[in-house]
Amino acid sequence: NRGTRAGKITRSYNLGAPGTPIVLTSSNILEVLTRVRGVMAEQNVDLDNEDTYLIVPPSIEVLLMNSDLKAAYFSGLGQTTYTNGRIPNKMAGLNFYKSNRAPLVYDATVGGWCYILSFGTKRATAFVSLLDFMRRVDNDANTWQYFLQARAAFDFFVLYGNLTGYLYVKVF
């Protein structure tokens, strides 16, 4: 679910690749989102009823606000995105999560910075968190306070790689 020939069945969706990123603009961003929807649909993901995600940097939000979504009748919102400063949380069946930590890499072939935008369904991944060896420390002679000490461990793993993917984009 990546590259210039994404899609399990048709292999006809261009999601960008190093050296050939998708140049995102306010005029093509909605069409690119429908490509992601098509790739996920070919993996038999029910985008209307399943918990899906797309991680985007704030610059993508700016493109969305300047796209056709600025018209209230198109976005389904009561006001335009210019008026309320909001974009829908879910578009093309994907829940949007904004993060300044979306991977940004320099692509020497195109001479610019490109984002790697992860998408998928939450059931494809597993997260674990463990809090172990807790103890109460209350022998500080200088205060009446007490402290808790513990060891925390966490990790994640991709269970179904076919239900995840990424867009390789250059924001213009």
Where do the DSSP E strands lie in the chain? 22-24, 52-56, 90-91, 94-98, 104-107, 112-121, 125-137, 147-158, 164-171
pLDDT tens-digit map of 51-101: 999 999 999 888 888 887 666 555 555 656 655 666 777 788 899 899 999
Predicted confidence at residue 139, as pLDDT, reads: 73
pLDDT tens-digit map of 133-142: 888 887 766 7
On average, the pLDDT of the chain sits at 86
Predicted confidence at residue 74, as pLDDT, reads: 56
Provide the angle, in degrees to the nearest 10, between the axes of the packed helices 58-65 and 29-42: 110
- What is the rounded CA–CA span in Å between residue 92 and residue 147? 47
Higher pLDDT, 104 or 67: 104
